[in-house]
């Protein structure tokens, strides 16, 4: 299996997991519950379970469409609109296809990390709504891990595209 296929498979599986978990939780949720949480993780706004789950699924679907759409459409974007270190080297005709393949994979790994964050925050919200917690159990840890991944992801991109490959 190619690296491109691995990143796409992981992304699709995580998206499917987000949708399946929401479908599994929906019948178990109370009719009204918390839909927004303040900085302390305590609920500060309430809605119907339909609004809560629909909102989560909408954000998840928009995330999926944006990342997948950008990843797939990247080769069609004019080179003048692409900001990349050593752009003339990486987007030269002989490397262009492999460069877009790398970008595709990187974007889908970032999208997968975002899906994991969405899934985790939804799970924490479900715990509150089902009476298993009074506030979100670990929102700062979740956000910290996501931001840590984002930093490493950016560093990885800079290392990958920051210098020209040796030929």
List pLDDT tens digits, range 28-62: 999 999 999 998 999 999 999 999 999 999 999 99
Under the banding of pLDDT at 50, 70 and 90, the label for residue 70 is very high
Chain segment 84-100, per-residue pLDDT in tens: 888 999 999 999 999 99
Is 167 within the bounds of a domain? no
Distance CA 84, CA 106 (A): 13
The overall average pLDDT reported for the chain is: 94
Under the banding of pLDDT at 50, 70 and 90, the label for residue 166 is low
Is 40 within the bounds of a domain? yes
What domain count does the chain have? Answer: 1
| Residue 167 confidence (pLDDT) above 70 | no
Cβ–Cβ under 8 Å, residues 63 and 110:
no
Distance CA 141, CA 124 (A): 12
Domain residues for the domain of 147 are 3-162
What is the model's pTM? 0.92
| Residue 135 confidence (pLDDT) above 90 | yes
């Amino acid at each position: 299996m190619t690296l491109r296929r691995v990143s796409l498979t992981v992304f699709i599986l995580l998206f499917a997991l987000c949708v399946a978990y929401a479908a599994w939780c929906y019948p178990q949720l109370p009719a009204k519950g918390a839909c927004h949480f303040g900085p302390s993780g305590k609920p500060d706004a309430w809605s119907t379970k339909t609004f809560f789950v629909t909102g989560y699924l909408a954000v998840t679907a928009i995330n999926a469409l944006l990342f997948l759409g950008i990843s797939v459409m990247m080769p069609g974007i004019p080179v003048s609109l692409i900001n990349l270190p050593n752009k003339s080297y990486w987007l030269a005709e002989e490397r262009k296809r492999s460069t877009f393949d790398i970008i595709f994979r990187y974007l889908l790994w970032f999208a997968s990390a975002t899906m994991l964050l969405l899934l985790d925050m939804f799970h924490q919200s479900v715990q509150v709504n089902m009476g298993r917690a009074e506030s979100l159990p670990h929102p700062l840890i979740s956000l910290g891990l996501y931001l840590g991944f984002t930093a490493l992801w950016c560093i990885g991109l800079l290392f990958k595209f920051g210098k020209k490959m040796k030929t």
